[in-house]
Structures are given as C-alpha cells and as structure tokens.
Amino acid sequence: MNDDVWSWLDSLKAFGYNPSLDNTAILLGRLDMPQHSFPSIHVAGSNGKGTCCAILANALTLSGTCTGLFTSPHLMSVNERIRIDGAPISDVLFESCLKQIQNACAIEPTVSPTFYEATFLVAMLAFRELGVQRAVIETGLGGRWDATRLVDADCCILTEISLEHTDVLGETLAEIAEEKAAIVRQNRVFVAAWPYDSSVRKVIERTVSNHDRAWWWRGDRLQSFKFSDATKPFRPLPKTDWYDGWMPYQQEAAMLAKAALYHLDEFPAYAQVDRAVTHTNWPGRMQWLDFQGIPILLDCAHNPSGMVRTCEQIRFQKTRDMSPMPGVIVVGSTTQKDLGIFLQPLVELIVEGQIRHVYVTQPPDGRKEAVDCERLAKELRNQGTDAEITATPSIEDALNLAQSKAIDLDNELPQPILCIGSIYLIGAILDIIDEEGLIDFQNILISPKGEDGIDPVV
C-alpha cells in the first residue's frame, strides 16, 4: 500500500467544505473528463437519498447493467463511497486513481481539492476504467456547489427536504430546496418527492423550465404526475390493510426510484426494483444485527426529520409485530440547529415505549462537530422523561453499559439496543461490533441464489 498517497488524501480533510465547482472542473479536464464516459442518475435531498441510490444501483445491476455508485460519507472504509455492482472498489484501484489525481493537481497552476472532491474524482476514474455503463451519484452537501453536479446526468431525483446544514444551505426550507434543486438538468428527466410546504414546491417548480419533463412523486397518492398537472385535484386514496397513509423510508425510496426509472425508460431496471429492495443491504439504516447474543438496531438519524421518520418506523413496526420495541438506547449527535427539536421524537419514543435506560455518548467529529454528551444528556432530561440517562464520551463504554443493561433487563432474552444519531456514531459502533471481521456489510447487493446455488445475476 502506498502510504504517501493515502496520507495525501487524509491531509485534504483540512480544507473542509468548498462552495465552488472550479477545482473539480479543472481536475476533471486534466483527467480527460471521465464523468462523460457514462450517463448518471443524480440524487439530492435531505433524507432517504442514500437508500434511494442503493436501490437504484442494485436494480440496474440486477437488470444486467454494469453500475457505479458514489455515496458519502462512509461508515468504516473510504472505499465504501465508490462501489461497482454493489461492491467497493479495491485498494489497488483506489490508489491508482488517487495517484492520477495527485499528478493532475501538481500541474501548474496547482490545485488542491477537498477530501470529498478527491473521492468523487476517484469514483469517476474508477468507473471509466472498469467500464461502468451507468452511474448513480449521491450529492454530498446541498447541490448547487457539490462536485457531483458536474456529472453527465440524464435523470435527477430530489428526495425529502428538511432543515439541515443551515449554516451553509440557508435558514429556511425554501432556501435549502433552492440549493438542492440546483442539480436539475433542464429538459432531462426530473423526479421529486412531493413537499407539503408550498414555498418549497414553488422554488422547485420555478427551477425547472420544462414542466413536461418533471414529475412529482406523491407517496400519499402512490403515483407520480407532471409538474404541469400539479394544480389538478386528486381524490384521496382510501386506507387499506397494507397502506394506512404512512410508509417506511425504504418503501418510499423504492417507489421514488421506480418512478425515475420508468420516466427514464429504463424498463429492465424498473422491473427489478422490487427484487432489488429484497436484496439491498444498506448498512446503518434501520439495520438489525446480533452482537454477542443481543439484538441491536442501528440507524443514522442525523437531522430532525430523519429522527421523526426513524421513531415513526420503530413504532409502526412494533404495532405490526414486525420488530420489538428497544429496551435500551445509545444516542450521539453532531451539531444541530435546535437540539431540542432534534431529540423530541426520541423522547416521545422513550415515553411511549417505556424505555428506561439511555446512554448518551459522542460520535467522532466529522463534517460537523459532535455535541458534548453532557449537554445532550441535559437536553434529554429537560424534555421530561423518567428514563435513567447516563452520559459517557466513550462510544465503547456506552455500548458495553447498554449491553450489560440489556442482559440485566432479561437474562434469557436480552432487550434490543437502539443505536441512533450521527452517521459517525453508527460507523464507530459498527467498527466495534465488527472487530473480528464477521459482518459482511461492504457489498450492498445480497446476491440472489437459485435453487441450484448459482447466482442468476452472474
């Protein structure tokens, strides 16, 4: 392994966020425009975009298309950001691409990309080198100034919009929507999740010039319709045994993916979406694992709307006997605009679920700083819960304490532990759980096997 090139990549973290496309555009030009070697589906939004990307990529792979997937941030290994047909690229290929980028940076006038921009460039080079036929690209932050905006996208998707990164994207939902909707490629397919905030709808509709090439996806209607038909009245859907007006993230993401593939005329992949859902392993998102005989639920609920949706899903699955209510919680967060609003859905779950033990910890600093565990614990107490709240900055200590308590509560059938909050917290917990390398979570496509044991995809 070339330590120099990896050290160089690590050093780029010091540059932070770059609200400009200039450096990436210059380097793409010096690298002979690898992003033009394949068409891309470009996805932005506040919540659910990673899940949507994973399902899209797996549906395309299952349809026989060699598919590249770029996502961020990563949980444990930087290679996770760049996958081909579900599997992260190798260290050897990553190093080779990094070296090309390093050489391109050294050309006068020299250019210094951010860590994120460098990983995006690695993805473009790797996809070109391995003959990717189509890529699925997730934005990192916002949309307007995100390096991924430079891909050749024939389809763009906008998932749910919520208040996040307000220091960079804007103070209101409308301002954030304007930044994210900037990924639109005019006169190409655009599909957006229906926002109930009228100011957000107006911003997005104003961004799109051709309303006949843009569709709203309405989960409450289970259908998509053109922007040009958005003012038409729609009859309310009757509630049924299988749909009561609410759906989990995965189902909503799958339907959004399906709508996009349909309008893109990618019918073979469209036909594979339901199968892709069954065979998608998206780590850290409503992920159940067994750790030393104790069930653990992991979820990266990193913003207020994400916390709402996760707590709703836990409650929903409990009422349908699909999964148990957690008995213990481990929580850690990065900086929030309003910590109280972020924690409120969790407090409601604690009260309703009669969860008596919460361990508050601190995730490693990533793009945003961690909230001090004592401050987080104080906010939880202030919101009025009878749960015993214990603060410890060590994630490993918090997990160990939670394990002991889960066993104390029921020695024969240990209570499930919910680990929730920052993606950096979930990554650190996965690192602890997988010390012996027993969990195969790197490949997000679980290979479907036929009766004869042969993988029909291969």
| 353 and 273 co-located in one domain | no
Q: Is residue 442 part of a domain?
A: no
Buried b / exposed e across 140-149, counting CB within 10 Å, b at 16+? bbbbbbbbbb
Q: What is the mean pLDDT of the chain?
A: 89
Q: Evaluate whether residue 443 is within a structural domain.
A: no
**Amino acid found at 99:** K
The pLDDT of residue 161: 86
CATH of the domain at 36: 3.40.1190.10
pLDDT score for 243:
54
> CA 142, 50, 147: angle at the middle one, nearest 5?
40
Query: What is the percent of the chain with per-residue pLDDT over 90, rounded to a whole number?
Result: 63
Q: Does some domain include residue 451?
A: no
Range of the domain at 59: 3-278
Of residues 367 and 397, more confidence is placed in 397
Query: Cis bond leading into 109, ω under 30°?
Result: yes
According to the model, what pLDDT value does residue 135 have? 98
Residue 439 lies in a domain: no
**What digits encode the pLDDT tens for the residues 83-113?**
999 999 999 999 999 999 999 999 999 999 9
Q: Using CA atoms, how far apart are residues 24 and 38, in angstroms rounded to an integer? A: 18
24/248: higher pLDDT:
24
- Give me the CATH number covering residue 414: 3.90.190.20
pLDDT per residue over 120-166, tens digit each? Answer: 999 999 999 999 999 999 999 888 999 999 999 999 999 988 776 65
Domain identity same for 261 and 294: no
When divided into structural domains, the chain yields a total of 2
Is there a domain that residue 136 lies in? yes
What residues are paired with 193 via a beta bridge? 217
Same domain, 132 and 211: yes
- pLDDT greater than 60 at residue 454: no
432/365: higher pLDDT: 432
Separation between Cα atoms, residue 84 and residue 66, nearest integer Å: 7
Residues 322 and 253 in one domain: no
Q: What is the CA radius of gyration of the chain?
A: 22
337 with 223, same domain: the answer is no
Reply yes or no on whether the pLDDT at 337 is more than 90. no
Tell me whether residue 94 is in a domain: yes
Question: What is the predicted pLDDT for the residue at 377?
Answer: 94
pLDDT of residue 435: 65
- Looking at the fold, whether 225 and 345 belong to one and the same domain comes out as no
Q: What is the mean pLDDT of residues 20-39?
A: 97
Average pLDDT value for residue range 221-228? 86
91 and 190 fall within a common domain: yes
| Rounded percentage of the chain residues whose pLDDT exceeds 70 | 90
Predicted confidence at residue 162, as pLDDT, reads 77
Give me the pLDDT at residue 365, please.
73
Question: How would residue 440 be classed by pLDDT, with cut points 50, 70 and 90?
Answer: low
SS3 readout for 150-197: HCCEEEEEECECCCCCHHHHCCCHHHHHHHHHCCCCCCCEEEEECCCC
Residue with tokens 């050290």: 7
In the block, residue with structure tokens 């339907």: 255
What is the distance between the alpha carbons of residues 350 and 330, in angstroms, rounded to a whole number? 12
Residue 244 has pLDDT above 70, yes or no: no
pLDDT, mean of residues 46-50: 87
Q: What is the pLDDT of residue 442?
A: 76
Please indicate, yes or no, whether residues 291 and 271 belong to a single structural domain of this protein.
no
Q: Are residues 184 and 97 in the same domain?
A: yes
User: Is 440 inside any structural domain?
Assistant: no
Residue 267 lies in a domain: yes
321: left (phi over 0), alpha (psi -120 to 50) or beta: left
pLDDT tens, residue by residue, 298-312: 999 878 888 998 999
* pLDDT surpassing 70 at residue 64: yes
Measure the CA–CA gap between 340 and 250, rounded to whole angstroms. 27
Q: So what's the pLDDT on residue 250?
A: 85
Look-up of token digits 């994400």: 306
